[in-house]
Amino acid sequence: MVILLFISSIWAVSFGLVKYNLTTLDSSFVAFARLFFATLTLLPFLKFRYLNKALIFRLLCLGAVQYGVMYLLVIKSYQYLAAYQVALFTAFTPIYVVLTDNIYKKKLELRNILASVVAIAGASVLYLQHGGFDNNLLIGFLLVQTADICFASGQIYYKHTEIKEDISSYALVFLGGMIISALFAIPNIPSNILEIITIKQWFILALLGTISSGFGNYMWNVQIKKVPVGIAAVMNNAKLPLGILASLTIYGETTDLVRLLISFSLLYIAISMIKK
């Protein structure tokens, strides 16, 4: 669980890097670039001696769904939602993790479901605001929920997939995601792309791709195999209060400290429920 918390901290810091440095770039290109660098990061470890054609195909499909489709849907949702709404709607990931696992096991685990609901409440208290309901909100909500389901189902699929050496094959997972994102990014790449992107932006893309997307996503799925499903589900929301904390300490933003404290408290309660 400590490693999952560490990865969540990395993801929390990456929110600000994207917000303050990459918003001028095409969002589908940013997704493609991150998966491109993630693939390069683990490519040196790729070994085919432990793989057969069926497993290679399954890993490519896993990456296409968990990373490729997920990134594209989340990015699309920003056309309909404010940033805080996207963050709020990703808070439903824990329940999708638990339900997907329950479907796989053909068994209903009520404690995990209840803990996931508490984790959702802990994340929601940070972002929930009053406002009117319109079609854009509905479309954005459905996009984010579909992305959440892709990310959650990918975690559970990998958790129950037997692989002799995780690191020797995970480049294929990122490759699957990169291929899907490339189909949408390449048509939108301008001919003068090298002139548009600054050296600083290339550095941040490489940093996010290698550490946040590459190292982070790989270690996340590997660690998911080692912890109970309930812990895996709840920890999916750790990045939200940690993201607010990073915004306060690193980027100088302001927030409601009472809400932040409540969020961390509910997350702790959710984890404690699983450990009992």
The per-residue pLDDT string of the chain (276 residues; one tens digit each, 9 = 90 and over) reads 789 989 988 888 887 787 778 878 888 898 999 999 999 999 999 988 878 899 999 999 999 999 999 988 988 887 787 666 677 778 888 889 999 999 988 887 777 788 778 877 876 776 665 555 678 888 988 998 999 999 999 999 999 988 877 888 999 999 999 999 999 999 988 888 888 899 999 999 999 999 999 999 999 999 999 998 888 888 888 877 777 777 677 766 666 778 778 877 887 787 777 655
For residues 5 and 271, what is the distance between their CA atoms, to the nearest angstrom? 12
pTM attached to this predicted model: 0.84
Distances 99 to 96, 231, 269 between C-alpha atoms, Å:
5, 14, 20
* Confidence (pLDDT) at 97: 92
Q: Are 35 and 213 in contact (CB under 8 A)?
A: yes
Distances 61 to 21, 176, 199 between C-alpha atoms, Å:
31, 6, 33
CA angle, corner 240, sides to 238 and 244, nearest 5?
120
Residue 202 φ/ψ, nearest 5 degrees: -60, -40
* Confidence (pLDDT) at 159: 92
Please measure the distance between the N-terminal and C-terminal CA atoms of the chain and give it in whole angstroms. Answer: 15
Q: What is the largest CA-CA distance in the chain?
A: 57
Cα 210 from chain centre: 15
Q: Which one-letter DSSP state was computed for residue 91?
A: G
Q: Which one-letter DSSP state was computed for residue 82?
A: -
* Confidence (pLDDT) at 76: 82
